[in-house]
Amino acid sequence: MSFDRSLARCSFCGRRPPEVRRMVAGPGAAYICEKCLQTCNEILDDPTPFSAKALELASRPPVVIAAPQLQEQDLPSIPYEPVRTIKLELEQKQQGMTLMLYELQFYQKHFELHYLWIRPPFPAGFAFVPRLIFLVKDNTGAEWAGDRGGMMKTRPELVSDPNLVVYQGSARFRPLPSSEAQTLTVRAANPLGQFEGPAPDLWKFEITL
Ligand SMILES: [Zn+2]
C-alpha cells in the first residue's frame, strides 16, 4: 500500500516536516516528530502512572490525516464474542462526575472494561474528545496501562438529569491476566481534568475475578 509521504504530519501534534527537524515514519499514514518522541521519552522516565505529560499527550485532539482506505476484504474478521463476561456494579462519584464500571469482558487475547461516565456537559466550543485513561493492576503485580479502546458514545436515552451527559466507552487491555490473578485494581483518570479543574480526577475500583 502506498502513501504520499509529502502529506506527512506528526500523528501526535499535527506538525508538518518544515516545522520539525526529524519525522519518523510509521506504518501507513502514521508519523511521529522528534518533539513528540522527546515527550514520550520523558513519560517513560516518569514512574508516576498519570504524569502531567502523559495526561497532556492523551488529551490532545486527534490529528486527522487522510489515511489510506482499507478495502473491506483486507480487514481481518475477528470473532467479536467474549469468552467470559463478568457483570460489575461499581460506581463512584468524584467532583460531580460518576464513573460506573458495568462489564468486564474476556476475549481470546485481550480483555475489555466497559463503563459509563456521567458528567456535566463540556462547555460549548470545547475542542477535546472526551476520554478516560485507565491503569489496571492485578494481585500478582502485573500492570496494564492506558489503552483507551473505542470511541465514547453519548447515550442521551440514559440521561435523567438535564444537567448531565452520559458517555459510554470501553478500554481494551492485552495480554490476558494470568491464571493466578484473583483481583484487579482499576484506576481511571480524566485527562481533561487539568483543563477543567485543579487536578485530574482519580477513580479507584477493586474487581474480583
Ligand atoms: Zn509531533
CA of 18 to the centre of ligand 1 (A): 12
Does residue 171 sit in helix, strand or coil?
strand
The domain that holds 101 is classified in CATH as 2.60.40
Ligand 1 centroid from CA 189, angstroms: 23
Q: Which is it for the CA torsion 56, 203, 156, 88, positive or negative?
A: positive
Residue 61 CA, ligand 1 centroid: distance in Å: 13
pLDDT band at 70 (very low <50, low <70, confident <90, very high): very low
| Residues 101 and 163 placed together within one structural domain of the fold | yes
Q: Rounded to the nearest whole angstrom, what is the distance from the C-alpha of residue 26 to the centroid of ligand 1?
A: 13
Residue environment code for 27-40, b if the CB has 16+ CB neighbours within 10 A, otherwise e: eebbbbbebbbebe
Angstrom CA distances, 12 to 16, 34, 126, stand at 11, 11, 19
Residues 106 and 192 grouped into a single domain? yes
All cell numbers assigned to 39: 515527550
Cα of 202 vs centre of ligand 1, distance in Å, is 27
Range of the domain at 114: 84-208
> Are the C-beta atoms of 104 and 111 separated by less than 8 Å?
yes
Strands (DSSP E) contained in the chain are 23-25, 31-33, 84-94, 97-106, 111-119, 133-138, 143-145, 153-154, 165-173, 183-189, 202-208
CA of 67 relative to ligand 1 center, distance in Å = 17
Please tell me the distance between residue 173's alpha carbon and the centre of ligand 1 in angstroms.
25
pLDDT tens digits along 141-162:
999 986 555 567 778 788 788 8
Output the furthest CA–CA distance in the chain (Å, rounded).
Answer: 52
Ligand 1 centroid to residue 29 C-alpha, Å:
14
Selection from 70, 69, 65, 68 nearest residue 7 by Cα: 65
Instruction: Clarify whether residues 101 and 200 are in a common domain.
Output: yes
- Ligand 1 center–CA 200 separation, angstroms: 24
Residue 176 DSSP label: P
- pLDDT of 128 higher than 70: no
Q: What is the DSSP letter of 195?
A: H
Å from CA of 63 to ligand 1 middle: 10
Ligand 1 centre distance from Cα of residue 193 (Å): 23
CA-based radius of gyration for the chain: 19
CA of 11 to the centre of ligand 1 (A): 7
Do 191 and 164 belong to one domain? yes
How far, in Å, from the CA of 23 to the mean position of ligand 1?
8
In angstroms, rounded to a whole number, what is the distance separating the alpha carbons of residues 126 and 177?
37
Which of 70, 100, 117 corresponds to the end of one domain?
70
Residue 44 resides in a domain: yes
Stretch among 17-31, 43-57, 65-79 having the lowest mean pLDDT: 65-79
Which among 70, 97, 120 is the end of a domain?
70
The pLDDT assigned to 127 comes to 55
**pLDDT tens track for 17-41:** 888 888 888 777 788 999 999 999 9
Q: How many domains does the chain have?
A: 2
* pTM of this prediction exceeds 0.85: no
Going by C-beta distance under 8 Å and a sequence separation of 6 or more, which residues neighbour residue 137?
A: 143, 144, 184, 185, 187
Residue 79 lies in a domain: no
Same domain for 190 and 97, yes or no, is yes
Q: Is position 2 within any domain?
A: no
Among residues 45, 70, 95, which one ends one of the domains? 70
Q: Find the 159 Cα to ligand 1 centroid distance in Å.
A: 38
